[in-house]
Chains A and B, each alone.
Chain A
Amino acid sequence: MERPLTQYIHPDGTPRLLGEYVKAGGYRSLHTLAAGIAPQDLQRLVAEAGLRGRGGAGFPTASKWSFVPMGSDAPKPKYIVANADEMEPGTFKDRVLLEGEPHGLVESMIIAGYALEAEVGFIFLRGEYHRSAERLTQAIAEAYAEGYLGKPLPGTTFCFDLHLHASAGRYICGEETALLNALEGKRAIPRAKPPYPQTVGLWGQPTIVQNVETLYNLPQIVNHGSAWYHGLSRSKDGGTKIYGISGRVTHPGWWELPLGTTARELLEQHAGGMFNGVSFRGLLPGGASTAFLTQEHLDLPMDYSSIPPQVGRLGTGTMIVLDDQTCPVGFVLNLEKFFARESCGWCTPCREGLPWVARILESFEEGLATDDDLALLEMHAKVLGPGHTFCALAPGAMAPLQSALKYFRDDFERHISLGRCPWSNKPTQLRVLV
C-alpha cells in the first residue's frame, strides 16, 4: 500500500532536513517545471488526477484553479495561501504533515505557484502549532539558501517567494475569506462572495487558498502522473487520504490510506475496534462540523462522493467516535459551546443563535429541559442551517445537532423524562416552574 504523503516521515515525528529530503526524491518535481512544462499543462494534469480539496469541502482543485486569470494580462502579483489553520475539533491531519515533512509544503507551494503563475506564497499557520512553525521556518530558510525560493527556477523566469504567517487564534480564520482578512491584519470576518478570491483576494489580487493536505498531493501528481494517482484510490476521486480516529478506540491515531477506505475498516482494523467494555454508537467522519454516521453507514467508502448529501459529508476525514458510555447530548453540547465561542459575531443568527443552542443543551444536561426545548433545537437546526447565515460556521455547527436529533432522539427524550442526564451521577436539579 503506497503512502506517498507520509512514507518518509520519521516514526518519532522529527522532520527531514533538506539533504535527507532531496535524497529521498524531494524537490524532484521542480525538474519537471524546469524542463518547461506549461502552467496550463500542469493545471490539466491536476484536473486529470481528480484531486479534491482535503480541507473539508472536497471541491475539485482544478475547478478552483480555473477561475484564476492567467497570461501576461493577468493582474500581478497573484498569491497562493496554504491554509494551515487547523482548528476543527477532532482534526489533526495537517499537523502530522507540517511537523513531519515541512519541506513537502514548500515544494508543493512552489508547484502551485508555477501552475497559477503566482509569485508569492503565504503559509497561514495556527498560532498554537509552535513545532510546525519552527520546522517550517527552518525548511523555508533552507529552500531559500538552496535557491528553490527567491531565485528563478533554472531554465525558467519563474521565481517564487514564500512567507510564514503565524496566526493569533480563532476558528473562523480557517474560512477562506476570513483568512484573507486575517492575513491583511484585520479581524477575521468572512467576506461577501462574489467577488471570489480567485479574482479578488489578498489585497485585491487573484488568490488561491488551499488546504495543507491538498497541496502535499501536487509533487506526487507531477512526479508520477494522473493514472498512478488514480490507482492509489478506491474511489473515483484520486489519491490517498490521511484519516484519523479519536475517542474511546483501542488505538487512536492517523493513517494514510486509499481514498474510499470504509469507516468499518478504519475503526476495526486500523484503530483496533472499540476500547475494552464500550460499544460503538456513532462517529463524526471529519471533525466537529460533520453529521453523525451510525452503524448502518460503516461500510460507506469514506470519500467525497460516496456519502449521500442527505446523510452528511466526509469533512476532514479525521473521525471522532461516540461510544455508549458517553452522553450524546453532552457530546453535542461540547461542540455547540465551541462553535458559540468561536463565532466571529458578524451575523446575528450565528452570534445569537449558537449561544442559545448551547444554553438549551445545557438545560438538557441539567435535567431542566422540556418537550418545547426539543422543538426549539429543531427550529435552530433549520434557521441556522445552510443559506441563513453569512458563512458556513453556523450551518457546520448544526450538522452534528441535526443528526443527533435524528439518531439519538431517544436520549434527548430520556433527559426530559428522567429530569437528569442518564450518564451523569449528579443529583437531579430542581425545576423551577414560573
Chain B
Amino acid sequence: MLTDTERRELEEALKHYPDKRAGAIDALLIVQRRRRWISDDSLLDIAQFLGMTGEDVDSIATFYNLIFRKPVGRHMAFICDSISCWIMGYEQVRAQIQKSYEIELGQTTRDGRLTFLPIACLGHCERAPAMMIDQDLYGNVTPEKVETIVEKYE
C-alpha cells in the first residue's frame, strides 16, 4: 500500500502532466526515497495507482540507473568511473574501497551501511576523481580520503 504521504506527493507530481502514466518515474523515485528500493510489492502498488500493469512499471524501473530493484544500504555511494576521473585516479580510489570495505562496486557493506555503485560522469570533472554519497558531492578524492569521507555516513 502506498502511504498517505506518498500518495500526496505523487498526486502533486501528477499535476504537471496531462496523463497519469507520465508520473511513473516520479512515483518510483517518491517511493524509493522512503523505502530505499523498489520491491515487487511497491512496484505493484505504484502500477495500481497509475492504472498500469506491473510489467509496464517494471520495464521502466529496470531501465533507469537510479531506480533500485534490489535492497540497498542505508546510504548510496556513487563513484564516478568516467574518463576525467579515470585519468585522475579513479582506479586507485576503487581499489581503496575494495580494500577498506572488502567489497566490489555494486555491493553493500556487510553492516548494511553503504552500497557502492559506479556512476557515469557526475559533472565534477574539474575536481576529478569525484564521488557522491547520498546527495553530497566530493571532488579531488584520493585513496587516503575515502575512509574519512565514508565515516560521516552511519
Residues of B within 8 A of A369 (CB): none
Please encode chain B, from 2 to 31, with 1 for each CB lying within 8 Å of some chain A CB and 0 for all others.
000000000000001111011111101100
**Is B105's beta carbon under 8 Å from chain A?**
no
A:79-119 near B, CB below 8 Å: 86-92, 94-95
Q: Are B83 and A182 in touch, CB under 8 angstroms?
A: no
Please encode chain A, from 316 to 342, with 1 for each CB lying within 8 Å of some chain B CB and 0 for all others.
001011110010001100110010011
Q: Are A342 and B137 in touch, CB under 8 angstroms?
A: no
**Count of inter-chain pairs, beta carbons less than 8 A:** 136
**Is A163's beta carbon under 8 Å from chain B?**
yes
Residue from A86, A95, A170, A248 in contact with B87 in the complex, judged by beta carbons closer than 8 Å: A248
Residue from B19, B64, B126 in contact with A169 in the complex, judged by beta carbons closer than 8 Å: B64
**Is A200's beta carbon under 8 Å from chain B?**
no
**Is A64's beta carbon under 8 Å from chain B?**
no
B:4-62 near A, CB below 8 Å: 16-19, 21-26, 28-29, 59-60
Residues of B within 8 A of A171 (CB): 120
**Is B135's beta carbon under 8 Å from chain A?**
yes
Residues of B within 8 A of A244 (CB): 125-126
Residues of chain B at interface, number, CB under 8 A: 40
Residues of A within 8 A of B103 (CB): none
Residues of A within 8 A of B78 (CB): 128
Q: Are B29 and A331 in touch, CB under 8 angstroms?
A: no
Residues of B within 8 A of A127 (CB): 29, 65-66
Please encode chain B, from 117 to 154, with 1 for each CB lying within 8 Å of some chain A CB and 0 for all others.
00111111111100010010100000000000000000
Residues of B within 8 A of A94 (CB): 123
Residue from A163, A166, A170, A246 in contact with B84 in the complex, judged by beta carbons closer than 8 Å: A246
What distance in Å separates the Cβ of A93 from its nearest Cβ neighbour in chain B? 9
Which stretch from A14-22, A48-56, A147-155, A184-192 is at the chain B interface? A184-192
**Is A129's beta carbon under 8 Å from chain B?**
yes
Residues of B within 8 A of A130 (CB): 135, 137
Measured CA separation A127–B26 after assembly (Å):
11
Measured CA separation A90–B120 after assembly (Å):
10
Residues of A within 8 A of B84 (CB): 89-90, 246-247, 320
Q: Are B120 and A184 in touch, CB under 8 angstroms?
A: no
Measured CA separation A252–B140 after assembly (Å):
11
Q: Are B66 and A320 in touch, CB under 8 angstroms?
A: no
Residues of B within 8 A of A187 (CB): 59-60, 63
Q: Are A170 and B65 in touch, CB under 8 angstroms?
A: yes
What distance in Å separates the Cβ of A345 from its nearest Cβ neighbour in chain B? 9
Q: Are B66 and A169 in touch, CB under 8 angstroms?
A: yes
Q: Are B64 and A88 in touch, CB under 8 angstroms?
A: no
Other 16 A-B pairs with CB < 8 A, given A87-B120, A168-B67: A92-B126, A94-B123, A167-B66, A168-B65, A170-B63, A184-B21, A185-B22, A187-B60, A203-B19, A244-B125, A246-B84, A246-B126, A252-B128, A288-B83, A331-B87, A342-B120
A-B contact pairs, 25 of them (CB 8 A): A90-B82, A92-B125, A126-B123, A128-B122, A128-B132, A129-B123, A167-B64, A169-B65, A169-B67, A170-B65, A184-B21, A184-B22, A185-B25, A186-B60, A188-B64, A203-B19, A246-B126, A247-B84, A252-B125, A254-B126, A288-B82, A320-B84, A326-B87, A330-B86, A331-B83
B-to-A contact residues, CB < 8 Å: 16-19, 21-26, 28-29, 59-60, 63-67, 78, 81-84, 86-88, 119-128, 132, 135, 137
